[in-house]
Structure 1
Amino acid sequence: MQRFGTGEVARLTGMPASAVRAMARAGYVKPARGPRSSLRFTFRDVVLLRTARELMAAQVPRRRLGAALRALRAQLPVDVPERGLSVTAAGDRIVVHEAGAKRDVLSGQLLLAFDVRIQEGDILLIDSPAHAPARGGDGDPDEECIRQFESALALEETDLDAAVEAYRACVLRHAHHGAVANLGRLLHLGGHISDAVQVYRSVHEPDADILYNLGVALEDLGRPREAIDAYLRAIALDEELADAHHNLARLFQEEGDARRALRHWNTWRRLATGAT
């Protein structure tokens, strides 16, 4: 099985080497260890990292991102086929096709589409024509947003204060949901819970993850009624958000509302066990 070093992965995916290491540390991929504990990535890891980069840039919520990457991993061969392959994501589906194979028709907003090719023994990851981004040079806002988010992610490894400021800049300039979630998380962990709440509430259309994080922060501030509202808004967007059901059940139980507590306990148990 072919293995790639961090520098090779950075070149293939267009990510800084520090961001590659940060995403491995965050569990997006699980590389092996080589000599002197260097990271050694598989072909699957390379494709997963490129996919994670683009889905994060498209502001796909973290829970959906994790599910998409698990679905992608199950479809990827161990090594790149000689004819190459294509990866496409739209709506809630992500599919892999070997080059020349019949393609499924995907409906919904196209989130990513790129081809994996072998050229003179080298692996290339190339945007498909249907998804080729408009290149406006260094000023392209999508590219700038990706770079800022990746830089902030990498800084979490070495300088949390600098990471907070980098996420803050990304939020102010691009309203990136992933940056909002990570900025709020770091502020919360640093004891600045009111600041985290303010960050979460600054988002015009928050996703389920941001609303869940808001609920946790409000609980820690001793504001259970506001936390309940945040959790209810979160499950209105993602009814399978098990942790939100768990927290709602606990809060309703503490309030003496046994009926609503039981409903959320039952939903949490069903989601936690995978029962239908």
Structure 2
Amino acid sequence: AMQKQAAGMENPLIEAGAFTTRHHRIAFRHEGKLLEPIAGQFLIDFASEEKVVARKSSAPLKPVPIESVAELFARGIALEDNPATESAAMDCYLKVLELDRSHAAAHINVGTLYYNHQEYRGAEQHYRAAINIDPRYALAYFDLGNVLDETGRVMEAIQAYKTALQLAPTYADAHYNVALAYEKAREPRKALRHWQAYIKLDTSGPWSVHARNQIQRILQSDGLKLVPKQQSN
């Protein structure tokens, strides 16, 4: 009788859950009981020791959460400060750009990682991409100026720094770097104006000391002097 019941199933693997017993035999659950189809015998149901080999899932799997662009970018910033995790930071920024090609700040940070490893071509590509996305991004012009300067394109670097200063006139680092670039180009008088602007913005830092020394050197070598403004009566 038991055999007929098992044989009467059109497809036992579908109509009854299939299990392997402790002795690796295939058995089926039929009408709430475990049945060994060949012998036609019910088996003792060691439920805690059986392994399900075929059954339908009662609940859908939850999707693996995907980090948002903001979360990936923030994680990249946290990883970037440690040289040991720079490659992981790069992966985060590149993932950001896969999700949002118009993320100018991610382009900047990828460019900076390239720049720090003297991979100037990659750095320049990403800085220019940031500028294309946001033409008023002063930092992008500043960073591009640094790449241009490092690769010997001093006059182009000066133009990039000047654009940064047009967008952000109190950008102290841009004043400092354009002054250096003007000195490389042997235009000390143009450098002088930016050294003077720099020391107004940074009055006591170590770079300010260097700027003051440069001002003094230029004034002495060119026979220039600062003329104090006369107070009006």
TM-score with structure 2 setting the length: 0.52
Give the letter aligned to residue 163 of structure 1.
A
SS in 1 for 2:202: helix
Please give the per-residue CA displacement for 1:180-238, whole angstroms capped at 9, x wherever unaligned.
22211111112211100110001222411121111112211121112111101111111
**8 Å contact from structure 1 (residues 180, 210) kept in 2:** no
**8 Å contact from structure 1 (residues 164, 187) kept in 2:** no
SS in 2 for 1:273: coil
- Of all paired residues, the percent bearing the same amino acid is 34
User: Which residue of the partner structure matches residue 177 of structure 1?
Assistant: 104
Please give the per-residue CA displacement for 1:104-129, whole angstroms capped at 9, x wherever unaligned.
xxxxxxxxxxxxxxxxxxxxxxxxxx
**Unmatched 5+ stretches in structure 2:** 1-64, 205-233
**Unmatched 5+ stretches in structure 1:** 1-137
Q: Who wins on radius of gyration, i.e. which is larger?
A: 2
Please state how far the C-alpha of 1:259 moved relative to its aligned partner.
3.1
Please state how far the C-alpha of 1:172 moved relative to its aligned partner.
4.4
Where do residues 201-240 of structure 1 align in structure 2 (5 Å cutoff)? 201-203=128-130, 204=132, 205-206=134-135, 207-240=137-170
**8 Å contact from structure 2 (residues 149, 181) kept in 1:** no
Where do residues 1-276 of structure 1 align in structure 2 (5 Å cutoff)? 144-156=68-80, 157=82, 158-174=84-100, 175-203=102-130, 204=132, 205-206=134-135, 207-273=137-203
Please state how far the C-alpha of 1:146 moved relative to its aligned partner.
0.6
| CA distance, structure 2, for counterparts of residue 147 and residue 246 of structure 1 | 34
- In structure 2, the CA distance between the partners of 1:155 and 1:262, relative to structure 1 (3 Å rule), is closer
**8 Å contact from structure 1 (residues 212, 231) kept in 2:** yes
CA RMSD after TM alignment: 2.2
- In structure 2, the CA distance between the partners of 1:171 and 1:252, relative to structure 1 (3 Å rule), is same
Give the letter aligned to residue 217 of structure 1.
V
| CA distance, structure 1, for counterparts of residue 125 and residue 104 of structure 2 | 14
Please state how far the C-alpha of 1:251 moved relative to its aligned partner.
1.6
Higher relative contact order by CA 8 Å / sep ≥ 6: 1 or 2?
Answer: 1
**8 Å contact from structure 2 (residues 104, 129) kept in 1:** no
SS in 1 for 2:68: helix
